[in-house]
Homo-oligomer: A and B are copies of this chain.
Amino acid sequence: MNTFVTKSLTEHNIKPTFPRMKIYEYLMEHKNHPSVDSVYQELVEEIPTLSRTTVYNTLHLFLERGLVQPILINENEVRYDGDTTVHGHFMCRECGVIHDIFFQDLNLDDASLDGFQVEQKQVYYNGVCPQCK
């Protein structure tokens, strides 16, 4: 894991400090789209010197460098996804879990985008997941 983490950070022009490596490793091992707070809660036991600000700043640096993508499906908090491929997210209004939704092909019929330079595309769904129905 360590080599992969160091390589990913370095390739995105991020100096691989210890907290950055642990935070990225956490994102790679937990595909539950965590918030700043949940990353902090999970890692603070192992790294007692960690602060919420460090987690926040680290995740923002990851965003800026394209190492993670933001999920803005919940108006109360930003969630982070270590998978930067184009895919959708479904948030269940019962259990709050955010599921990944994969597309065969995300060619949206969006003729009105002519002239726009698209750099990022996000598709969000809200509703009820199969477990809660």
Residues of A within 8 A of B (CB): 70, 72-75, 78, 88, 90, 93, 99-106, 108-113, 115-130, 133
Contacts and interface: CB of A to CB of B under 8 A. Distances in A.
B101 A105 contact: no
B121 A123 contact: yes
Chain copies in the assembled complex: 2
A116 B127 contact: yes
A121 B78 CA distance: 18
A78 B72 CA distance: 10
Given A72-B72, A73-B72, A78-B75, A118 B125 contact: yes
A116 to B, nearest CB: 6
Contacts of A78: 75
